[in-house]
């Protein structure tokens, strides 16, 4: 039976960033206690007993809560499931709340990968977007993680932030590289509806770089990271050799996973299960969405996810699912133009076209 990944959602933050529309909020200790009780119950009642190859604690901000909450959840998972000896176990942290003591506790628990929400190393930009840390704290948190024994360290950067220049972005990346960060995720800032960022833009309080400038920043960063020896294994993810996120790669390979917690998703036995984004509903196990993945949806996801990363799409697997990609006129034309590459019964999106991947993928769908 296939091994699975496990995702655990910790929906608590010390404050909400102005661009964030994730299922997260600032809550009292009492609410947190109720949540973790419910989360433990959800894990214990899970009826799937697959072997686990990766665990990922995301948020929200897992490092913002009492370390004992994290330990209880981690211990419950280890009691319920058989965990691979070499499983990748990741926790997301914000630099301001990832104290040396907490990092040491995470390492002792069994976490072997850490992901820092750095976003920028320019203090003026961090202040505008509502981050609680500064650049010094971010670099110190990375140093502290290495100090307690973490070698697999990832950091997130945002592209297209207010007042951000190409030089700022490249400088940030260079500092992360000098700090021996082995994995960098670089995402273009999205202005989500009903966020404080959207309101501030409408009111003229914040101006973002133009779309063309943002794309230029993105391409400059890609070139810089690749030149520095970071493999671009997914549209927004770069790593040193062998340091890709195994947990996220499982998603892109359409592998199976279980999600626990508020708004968490599972994909198992061709079914997608989504917990409610509403805290009251989650605590009372209400409004759980279940979708059966039919053949057409499965084919679409194989193409969409496979072309996001350097794994590509397995042509034989696609044909077994009932879709013969060679019959698609766009496919032949994209091969001729070098937009798609084909080798060893797989096809890949040429990285030069990642910026327009959505349009290409749509043309390839059945």
Q: Tell me: the pLDDT tens digits for 317-364?
A: 999 999 999 999 999 999 999 999 999 999 999 999 998 899 999 999
Mean pLDDT throughout 66-83?
97
The phi, psi pair for 265, rounded to 5°, reads -115, 150
Our CA angle for 152, 260, 96, nearest 5°, is 45
Task: For residue 114, name the pLDDT band (cuts at 50, 70, 90).
Answer: very high
CA neighbours closer than 13 Å in the CB half-sphere of residue 86: 1
Mean pLDDT throughout 102-130?
97
Q: How large a percentage of the chain has pLDDT more than 90?
A: 94
320 burial (CB, 10 Å; 0-12 / 13-18 / 19+) is exposed
Q: Is pLDDT of 8 > 80?
A: yes
d(CA 33, CA 39): 10
Q: Is pLDDT of 21 > 90?
A: no
Number of other residues whose CB lies within 10 A of the CB of residue 202: 10
Which ranges of the chain does DSSP label H, i.e. alpha helix? 29-45, 67-80, 100-109, 123-128, 135-147, 166-178, 196-202, 211-227, 246-252, 279-283, 295-306, 315-320, 329-337, 357-364
Chain-centroid distance of CA 97 in Å reads: 19
Q: Tokens for 264? A: 């968490």
pLDDT of residue 327: 95
pLDDT, tens digit, 9 for 90 and up, residues 272-281: 999 999 999 9
Our CA angle for 290, 60, 4, nearest 5°, is 45
d(CA 93, CA 16): 14
The phi, psi pair for 62, rounded to 5°, reads -55, -35
Residues in CB range of 203: below 8 A, 6 or more apart: none
Q: Is pLDDT of 1 > 80?
A: no
pLDDT of residue 179: 97
Q: Is pLDDT of 185 > 90?
A: yes
Using an 8 Å Cβ cutoff, are 83 and 55 in contact? yes
Our CA angle for 20, 70, 105, nearest 5°, is 110
**Domains in the chain: ranges and CATH:** 4-251 (3.20.20.70), 312-366 (no CATH)
pLDDT of residue 23: 79
Residues in CB range of 212: below 8 A, 6 or more apart: none
Q: Tokens for 313? A: 């799409």
Quick one: which H or E segment has residue 59? Answer: strand 52-59
């Amino acid at each position: 039976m296939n091994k699975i990944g496990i995702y655990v959602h910790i929906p608590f933050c010390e404050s909400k960033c102005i661009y964030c529309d994730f299922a997260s909020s600032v809550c009292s200790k009492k609410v947190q206690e109720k949540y973790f009780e419910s989360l433990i119950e959800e894990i214990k009642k899970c009826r799937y007993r697959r072997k686990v190859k990766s665990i990922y604690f995301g948020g929200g901000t897992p490092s913002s809560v009492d370390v004992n909450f994290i330990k209880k959840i981690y211990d419950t998972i280890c009691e319920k499931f058989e965990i691979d000896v070499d499983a990748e176990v990741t926790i997301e942290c914000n630099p301001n709340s990832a104290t040396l003591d907490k990092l040491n506790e995470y390492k002792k628990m069994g976490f072997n990968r850490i992901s820092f929400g750095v976003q920028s190393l320019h203090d003026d930009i961090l202040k505008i977007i509502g981050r609680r840390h500064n650049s010094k704290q971010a670099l110190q948190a990375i140093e502290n993680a290495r100090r307690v024994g973490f070698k697999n360290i990832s950091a997130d950067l945002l592209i297209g932030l207010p007042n951000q220049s190409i030089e700022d972005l490249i400088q940030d990346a260079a500092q992360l590289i000098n700090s021996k960060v082995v994995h960098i995720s670089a995402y273009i800032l999205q202005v989500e509806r009903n966020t404080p960022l959207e309101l501030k833009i409408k009111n003229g309080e914040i101006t973002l770089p133009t779309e063309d400038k943002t794309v230029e920043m993105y391409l400059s960063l890609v070139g810089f990271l690749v030149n520095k020896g970071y493999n671009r294994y997914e549209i927004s993810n770069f790593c040193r050799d062998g340091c890709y996120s195994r947990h996220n790669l499982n998603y892109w390979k359409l592998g199976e996973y279980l999600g626990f917690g508020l708004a968490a998703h599972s994909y198992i036995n061709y079914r997608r299960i989504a917990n409610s984004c509403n805290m009251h509903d989650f605590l009372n196990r209400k409004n759980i969405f279940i979708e059966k993945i039919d053949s057409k949806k499965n084919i679409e996801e194989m193409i969409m996810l496979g072309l996001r990363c350097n794994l590509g799409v397995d042509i034989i697997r696609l044909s077994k699912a009932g879709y013969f990609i060679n019959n698609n006129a766009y496919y032949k034309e994209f091969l001729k133009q070098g937009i798609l590459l084909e080798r060893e019964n797989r096809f890949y999106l040429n990285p030069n076209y990642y910026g327009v991947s959505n349009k290409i993928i749509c043309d390839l769908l059945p």
